Amino acid sequence: MLYYLFSWMHTKRYPGAGVFQYISFRSAAAFVLALVIAIFFGKYFINFLRKKQIGESVRDLGLAGQSEKAGTPTMGGLIIIAAILIPVLLLCELRNIYVILMLFTTVWLGFLGGTDDYIKVFKKNKEGLSPRKKLLGQILLGLVVGSVMYFHPAAVICEKSVERQQATQITADEILRVENQENAHTPKLFDEPHHSSKTTIPFFKNHELDYAALTRWMGDETGKWSFLFFIPIIVFIIAAVSNGANLTDGLDGLATGVTASVAVGIAILAYVSGNVIFADYLSIMYIPNIGELVIFISAVIGACIGFYWWNCYPAQVFMGDTGSLTLGGIVAVSCIIIRKELLIPILCGIYLAQSLSVIMQVSYFKYTKKRYGEGRRIFLMSPLHHHFQKKGMHESKIVQRFIVVSMLLAVLTIATLKIR
């Protein structure tokens, strides 16, 4: 809303109003505002949760310090959601299709996770929302996101023009002349925006995966039926990443710290994808109007760090599924929007390791029980962070090391833009 106010003021030539036209300024403002909201609003919300006795009921898993967590306020994910939504509504261009999609994702998964927490806390049902209903909610979100990304007229990309691919060099001055249309002889950087089901392949230069290629065996040379593959893949990605984030939320500050690192990587990827000069230099597809996503992700980073203020060891509040499902969904959808979903296994390596540890543990236990009559385990306990707890490592050290690894993976993800 402030964006529209200052845009109007800019047209009336009010001094300084033009600063709101810059993505960098609004991103910084979104980060600071989200951080302030999470820290200061969080204090009052935590006191409210304590007063209403909305606390976590902890199962006895034989872990050190576990009993001390009983009664800690939960549903703190509402702090994160508020810290994201308020800056976005104030600072973003709300007609942007990508902002609308991210707002829908945040509210939808916030409601889904909030319902799960409500059942656990108020209905005294420790199982919460059934896994089938959670998955159904994630599938519905995936169908919406996949359909919008495939069919919406504003969800377009620009690929390098043929003449730009043939050009060996282009100077910064020539790029500026292209932007200002001052020199017709300078190679055009990108073709006109168009619909595409392409996504970036990491480690390969000027190569993208086109989901339309998956339908060639059907005789579909034009890719008219590629949505039959594209949308289910999007559904799978959203469900997998959202559940991965949910599994990561098991120690004080772990999910928030890891997600903040992941979000920084996404913000950088979104910025270079939405900047014609960087996109040309890095030989990646240019995505028009993606800059607003940088502002959204900046708010996510600020919200995560602000929530970490209260969630670090010893936690004064837990995010619950209200926060973890939402953060995982935001990460998944934002990667899909910037056409970098194939980088998720690297960028979200912690989420992946947590999910794989559970899958491996459960699968091996069932297999050995069927074959040997008794279930055997690969890890002392899953998800993976509990394995290290069982080995005697303090949870604070586990969290910090997981965050460091997440930072390294984020840097590696950014490096893939040049390592090709």
> Percent of the chain scored above 70 by pLDDT?
91
pLDDT tens track for 279-297? 888 888 899 999 999 999 9
Nearest partner of 299 among 307, 289, 309, judged by Cα: 307
Q: For residue 61, what pLDDT is reported?
A: 65
- The residues pairing with 73 across neighbouring beta strands, listed in sequence order, are 55
Q: What is the pLDDT of residue 233?
A: 95
Mean pLDDT of 169-188: 52
Q: Which residues are 200's β-sheet partners?
A: 208
pLDDT higher than 50, residue 185: no
**Dihedral class, residue 74 (left if φ above 0, else alpha if ψ from -120 to 50, else beta):** beta
Work out the widest C-alpha separation in the chain, in whole angstroms: 79
Whether the per-residue pLDDT at 203 is higher than 90: the answer is: no
What distance in Å separates the CA atoms of residue 157 and residue 153, rounded to the nearest whole number? 11
Dihedral angle, C-alpha 383, 386, 388, 393, nearest 10 °: 160
More confident residue, 55 or 47: 47
d(CA 298, CA 91): 11
Supply the pLDDT for residue 176: 55
- Can you say whether the dihedral through the CA atoms of 206, 212, 217, 222 is positive or negative? negative
Asked if pLDDT for residue 66 goes beyond 50, the answer is: yes
Q: Please give the average per-residue pLDDT across 24-30, as a whole number.
A: 94
Average pLDDT over residues 325-348: 96
Q: What is the pLDDT of residue 303?
A: 97
φ and ψ at residue 330, rounded to 5 degrees: -60, -45
Looking at residue 58, its pLDDT comes to 65
pLDDT of 183 reads 42
340-383, pLDDT tens digit by residue?
999 999 999 999 999 999 999 999 999 999 988 888 999 999 99
From residue 200, give the alpha-carbon distance in Å to each of 36, 65, 343, 344, 365: 35, 44, 8, 11, 37
Among 61-65, 130-134, 198-202, the range of highest mean pLDDT:
130-134
CB 244 within 8 A of CB 351: yes
pLDDT in tens, 255-283: 999 999 999 999 999 999 999 889 888 88
Helix, strand or coil for residue 198? strand
Tokens of 219: 């005789």
DSSP 8-state class, residue 342: G
* Separation between Cα atoms, residue 19 and residue 336, nearest integer Å: 29
Classify 158 as helix, strand or coil: strand
Q: Is residue 190 classed as helix, strand or coil in its secondary structure? A: strand
The yes-or-no verdict on residue 148 having pLDDT over 70 is yes
The label of the residue with tokens 């600020």 reads 302
Q: Which residues of 60-91 are buried (b: 16+ CB within 10 A; e: fewer)?
A: eeebeeeeebeebbbbbbbbbbbbbbbbbebb
State yes or no: pLDDT of 175 exceeds 60: no
- pLDDT range class, residue 402, cuts 50, 70, 90: very high
Q: What is the pLDDT of residue 187?
A: 55
59 compared with 204, residue with greater pLDDT: 204
Q: Calculate mean pLDDT across residues 59-68.
A: 66
**Prior bond to 383 cis, omega within 30?**
yes
Choose among 272, 409, 261: nearest CA to 343.
409
Q: Which residue has the higher pLDDT, 283 or 76?
A: 76
Per the prediction, the chain carries an average pLDDT of 88
pLDDT of 186: 47
